[in-house]
Structure 1
Amino acid sequence: MTIVDDSVVPACADDPTIFLDETLGVRQRAAAHRRCAACPIFTDCLYRAVVEVNVSGFVACTTESDRAALRRRLGVSVSDHEFAMLGTARLGSGPVDHEAVLTARRTHPGDTCQQLAERLGCSTSTVKRHLRRARQEQAGGEAQAAAPQANRRPSVDEVLDAFGELESGRRLMRVS
C-alpha cells in the first residue's frame, strides 16, 4: 500500500526563518510576500493573525504594525496575555526584566530578536513581546484609544476588505 501525502506545507512552515524577523530587508520582504500570497491557507492565516492571536514577524503578507492598524480599523483587541497561557519553555534562570530587553536593544541595535534572546538567555518571543510593549507604551496607548466593540468579531470579508486597503493588500491585488 502506498500512502500519498498531497498536503501543501505553508511557506512559513517550510522555511520559517524568513518570516520570523520583523525587520525584513526589501528583498526578503518581497520574497516573503510572494510566498505568503501564494499560500493556500492565506485567508485563514490573515484572519487568525488579526482577530485571534497576536503573533510576531511577517504573517499573511503583513507586519506587526500592519496588523495593529487592521485591528484599530476593525475595532479588534488581542491581548498579549493570551501568549502566557501557551506555557512557553524558559531556559534561563527566571523572568527577563523589561528594562533588560530594552537595554540590550539599545546596546545592540543591529541584533535580530533571536540574537538578543540568545544574549539574554530567553526565547525570541519574549524579546518580541517586550519590544512590542515598549512600542505600545511609546505610542502613548494609541492602540487603546480605539475602544473595541464588546465581543464583536469581524467577519472574514471585513478583515479581507481592511487588508485590501493596506499597501501590502493593494500589492497583492495587483498581482492577482
Structure 2
Amino acid sequence: MTLQTSSVTPAQACVALASVFQHPLLEDQAPATTAEQRHLQASLIRQADQACMSCPLLERCLYSAVVEHDVAGHVAGTSPAQRQAIRARLGIRVKPEDLDSFAGVVAPNRQIDPHEVVRMRAANPHDSLESIAQRLGCSLSTVKRHLRRARNNPLPSRPLHSVRPSMEQVLQAAREVLRRPGSRRRAA
C-alpha cells in the first residue's frame, strides 16, 4: 500500500484512504501477532501519519479527538493510547458516547440519571410517571424514587460547561506526549 498524494487532497485524505484508516490493525488497534502483521501495521501507521500531517484540519481534528469525543482508531496522527496520555496531561476525561440510548436500546440494569428523570418530569408535567418510565426504559418505581429523592434532597446542579483546554494547551500536551521516548514519531 502506498500513499498517492497526487490524487488525494489533504482535506480528504482520511476519507479517501478509508482502507488505511479503517483497517483492523489500525482502527481497532488489534495486536499484530506475526512479523508480517507488524510490518503491515507499521506501514499503515506511516501512511496514516503522512496523510494526517499534510491535512489542513490536523489541529481541529486533534482537538476534537482529545477534548470532544472518545474515538477509536488512528486520528490526527495519534493512537487511542496517545490521546489518553494527552488527556491525562491536560487533566480531562471524555465521556464515551452512549450510542445505545440514541438508538433507543435499553440495557437491563442500566443506571438511570436522576437529573434526566427530573428534567423529563419538568418538561412533561402532565405526562404520567409510567410514560416517563417507559421513555427512560426503567421501572415506575425507579422514576418515583428519583423524583422523591430530588424533592427531599435537591440534586446539585450539574455544571453547564466544564472548562475545556484551549487549542494551544492541547497542541502543547500533544507535543510533549509524542516527543517522549518510546513514541513512534515527533509532534506535529
What range describes the TM-score normalised by the shorter chain of this pair? Answer: 0.5 to 0.7
* 2:67 counterpart of 1:51: yes
Is the CA contact (8 Å cut-off) linking 1:11 and 1:39 kept in structure 2? yes
Is the CA contact (8 Å cut-off) linking 1:164 and 1:170 kept in structure 2? no
Change (3 A) 1:17 1:37: same
1:1-176 map, 5 Å: 9-20=11-22, 21=27, 22-23=29-30, 25-84=41-100, 87=103, 151-167=162-178, 171-173=186-188
d(CA) in 1 for partners of 2:99, 2:45: 26
The structure showing larger relative contact order (alpha-carbon pairs under 8 Å, at least 6 residues apart) is: 1
Q: Report deviation, 1:40.
A: 1.0
Alpha-carbon displacement from aligned partner over 1:43-69 (angstroms, at most 9, x marks no partner):
100000000011000000000101111
- TM-score, normalisation: structure 1: 0.53
Is the CA contact (8 Å cut-off) linking 1:10 and 1:40 kept in structure 2? no
Q: Count matched residues.
A: 109
- TM-score, normalisation: structure 2: 0.50
Alpha-carbon displacement from aligned partner over 1:99-134 (angstroms, at most 9, x marks no partner):
xxxxxxxxxxxxxxxxxxxxxxxxxxxxxxxxxxxx
Q: Report deviation, 1:17.
A: 2.7
Give the aligned partner of residue 135 of structure 1: none
- Across the aligned residues of Structure 1 and Structure 2, the Cα RMSD in angstroms comes to 2.9
Change (3 A) 1:157 1:170: farther
- 5+ long unaligned stretches in structure 1: 1-6, 96-149
Q: Report deviation, 1:19.
A: 1.6
> What amino acid maps onto 1:71 in structure 2?
R
Alpha-carbon displacement from aligned partner over 1:67-89 (angstroms, at most 9, x marks no partner):
1111111011111144446549x
Q: Report deviation, 1:152.
A: 1.4
Is the CA contact (8 Å cut-off) linking 2:70 and 2:97 kept in structure 1? no
Change (3 A) 1:164 1:86: farther
SS at match of 2:186: helix
Considering only CA atoms, is the larger Rg found in Structure 1 or Structure 2?
2
Structure 1's consecutive aligned runs of 4 or more residues displaced over 6 angstroms after TM superposition are none
Is the CA contact (8 Å cut-off) linking 2:52 and 2:58 kept in structure 1? yes
